[in-house]
Amino acid sequence: MTPQQYVQDKAAASGSSFYYAFLFLPPPRRAAITAFYAFCREVDDVVDEVSDPGVAATKLAWWRKEVAEAFAGQAHHPVLQALMPHVADYGIRAEHLSAVIDGCEMDLTQTRYLDDVTLRRYCHLVAGVVGEVAASIFGCEPGRPLSEGTRRYAHTLGRAFQLTNIIRDVGDDARRGRIYLPVSELQRFDVKAHELLKREAPWGYSERFTSLMKFQAERAHRSYDEAFAALPADERRAQRPGLMMAEIYRTLLREIEATGFQVLHQRTALTPLRKLWLAWKTNWRER
């Protein structure tokens, strides 16, 4: 199996909404974003699939070493072998990949977030930096940096995606002992951590929980709106893949809202056909 086949299989197997936006890119950009996304999945899987924190930390340290060696000209893992030919064209730096590892490492050491400020730091590492790299691949001419407006758009949109993920995954995260909803906001809405960790009625679902989740959804919607407002009008066409992902993710958020935030015992998802339709519709609209 070639490195290119490896990253393609990794991206396709994830079932992520991102994958459907990649399909509309020209081959060189599609190859670059597929390799970068596969790297993000590999690192994220270390935290989600390795039960022993010590083993997971060792694996993340191994990835740090792999990234350093890859940028020194010795890429060993197929994901990095597939990614390295594109880093110069799209301004991908070692610190971008290291930031993704830093964010995943936070999941090993931190299971609660005190307030929105600390949550923003996490979102910056695992989503904002990813958004910046993705925007560079989607729309920059090789060797040219992102405009400041597009950079703000990418980071803010990445945060919106992560906030949507947090809302969708409250139950899944609780099963792993993690609560990403800020402690200060749990206290504000009088929702107890043990209610979320129990993940079942009547403890989890309540008017207090619904109010808390509406607050989370409103913040995510504000992030989407702020991102769209930051994107320069003359760069919208180049950033169509990100706008496709935004359409898919925001539709998912609205689906969760429509269910009354039934996220403790189930994971709301859109069908692959619906994701493809939303991506195609957005691609057509932004032409």
**What pLDDT, in 10s, does the model give residues 187-207?**
999 999 988 888 766 556 889
Helix 148-168 and helix 129-139: axis angle, to 10°?
130
Q: Tell me yes or no: is domain 1-109 CATH 3.30.70.870.
A: no
Q: What is the mean pLDDT of the chain?
A: 90
**What pLDDT, in 10s, does the model give residues 154-198?**
999 999 999 999 999 999 999 888 999 999 999 999 999 988 888
> Domain locations in the chain?
1-109, 145-286
User: Does the fold of domain 145-286 match that of domain 1-109?
Assistant: yes
In this predicted structure, what is the pLDDT of residue 11? 80
Evaluate if residue 144 carries a pLDDT over 90.
no
Helix 3-14 and helix 27-49: axis angle, to 10°?
60
Task: List own/partner pairs for 169-174 with CB under 8 A and 24 or more apart.
Answer: 169/263, 169/267, 170/196, 170/213, 170/263, 170/264, 171/199, 171/263, 171/264, 171/265, 171/266, 171/267, 172/267, 174/199, 174/264
**What pLDDT, in 10s, does the model give residues 228-274?**
999 999 999 889 989 999 999 999 999 999 999 999 988 898 888 89
pTM beyond 0.85, yes or no: yes
Among the four given CATH numbers 3.40.50.150, 1.10.600.10, 1.10.1740.10, 3.90.1300.10, the one describing domain 145-286: 1.10.600.10
How far is 137 from 39, CA to CA, in rounded Å? 15
